[in-house]
Amino acid sequence: MIPFANTYARLPERFYARLNPTPVARPRLIKLNIALAEQLGLDPDDLTADVLAGNHVPEGAEPMALAYAGHQFGNFVPRLGDGRANLLGEVGGRDIQLKGAGRTPFSRGGDGRAALGPVLREYLIAEAMHAFGIPTTRALAAVATGETVVRETGLPGAIVTRVAASHIRVGTFQYFAARQDTDGVRTLADYAMARHYPGVTGYRAFLEAVIARQAALIARWLLVGFIHGVMNTDNCSIAGETIDYGPCAFMDAYDPATVFSSIDQQGRYAYGNQARIAAWNLARLAETLLPLLDDDDNKAVEIAQQCLAGFAKTFEAAYFGGLRRKIGLSSVRDGDDALTQDLLKAMAQNQADFTLTFRGLGEAETRDLFTDPTAYDAWEARWRQRLAFEVETPEARRAAMRAVNPAFIPRNHLVEAALNAAIERDDFAPFEELLAVVTQPFDDQSGFARYAAPPTASERVHQTFCGT
């Protein structure tokens, strides 16, 4: 028996729509995250294909689709909501949600289903992000539905079971603010504070706490070369987790302008824009909280601006601190930030691989990653001069660097190959092997060198797709 609770169901009825998942034809379990199930206190034997596909609603579950709004590529949509997701309830304080579980009142004409490719992508990337130590939703299971979903062509259908701190988004607050429902905003803020920020008192402190978590999160994305791809306000979690793995990807060669998402035509959510966009999203959250910050409109705006000003400070501390650790610096000296930025500049100018450059700093073969190896040589000489001021032994420094610089990321060409094998041949062996490698990203794994290598010119992936 699954020990479900559902505190969100205690909120007013206008916060969600109650409905069961739509049953599917022939559910088949593809992957079960046994370690996560046990961490949640679940018996894996209870997690059958029928449960994970929504054909059987477990006792105690209270299925629902959540209401929210959002800015999508800067354009406000007042009613989005869970168009294809169904929140079963909470286990161990974590939401259990079926994504791809059928139509809801928020489906906006869609079929409410998910295709196999995006489900496997979400599973892979979410679990890799967790292995990197980055706050994220998790994947508990992937199930094939035995049905076809139609996008540009017919594709095998699937459902991913997502585990999250909660599914409250900036867009959830916007949903009520757009309706001038201040009581709804207050109720949601009180709930979010109690659930995610139990030590926080007051709406200003709540806003500051959300800003701090988001700033630290985005810094950690950048430090592993991650590009979310769709940083809409409805994809911005109040809990500070990475959520909604659609056209996400990891950079190969370092370039701040890198965009993979096929729907991001203007580069709004490019790698180098992600901190700015996160701050923009948080400003939208602050707007919804203005009535709670102060009865005087001008004073409320002033408080919000003061809170938002803290984003840059928190982000820069997390980002530059992370970069220093990536190049083996445990102390702080004048010029350190310039040193890290000069490395990134040289990498961009020389098409150097982001992951391998940091992983291999100080090793002879690293210079070969640069189109002009002398650019690396010049930087390395400065770096070694700086290291002379560090007190750690070379062995300790190397171990510390390897603990923050992954050897393996979910390289886009390998992800695509694994998904295509599953879609076209029902062959999940490439998915399983890639998952095993990227969930041990900091370990040297003999026999898996091809998973660390950047793509050849013919293997390079230029676009990723949302899959909705």
Q: Residue 255 has what pLDDT?
A: 97
Q: Residue 73 has what pLDDT?
A: 93
Domain boundary among the residues 116, 141, 164 is at: 164
Domain boundary among the residues 389, 416, 435 is at: 389
In a domain, 30, yes or no: yes
In a domain, 229, yes or no: no
Q: Residue 465 has what pLDDT?
A: 83
In a domain, 384, yes or no: yes
In a domain, 234, yes or no: no
Domain range enclosing 350 = 332-389
Mean pLDDT in consecutive groups of 10 residues from the start of the chain, 468 residues: 90 98 97 97 96 95 97 95 96 97 94 96 98 98 96 94 98 98 98 97 98 98 98 98 96 96 91 98 98 98 98 98 98 97 98 98 94 97 96 95 98 97 98 98 95 93 80
Q: Which residue has the tokens 């010029």?
A: 335
In a domain, 81, yes or no: yes
The string of pLDDT tens digits covering residues 278-299 is 999 999 999 999 999 999 999 9
The answer to whether the beta carbons of residues 60 and 107 sit under 8 Å apart is no
In a domain, 248, yes or no: no
Q: Residue 137 has what pLDDT?
A: 98
Against a cut of 0.95, is the pTM above it?
yes
Q: Residue 152 has what pLDDT?
A: 83
Domains: count for the chain:
2
Q: Which helix (H) or strand (E) holds 434?
A: helix 429-438
Q: Residue 1 has what pLDDT?
A: 72
234 classed as catalytic: yes
Domain boundary among the residues 164, 179, 207 is at: 164
The answer to whether the beta carbons of residues 301 and 203 sit under 8 Å apart is no
In a domain, 100, yes or no: yes
Separation of alpha carbons 366 and 177, rounded Å: 52
Q: ∠ at Cα 396 (390, 398), nearest 5°? A: 90
Enter the DSSP assignment of 17: E
In a domain, 398, yes or no: no
The answer to whether the beta carbons of residues 211 and 289 sit under 8 Å apart is no
The catalytic position among 95, 111, 234, 252 is: 234
Closest listed residue to residue 169, CA positions, set 49, 76, 81, 273: 81
Q: Residue 468 has what pLDDT?
A: 66
Closest listed residue to residue 261, CA positions, set 293, 296, 226: 226
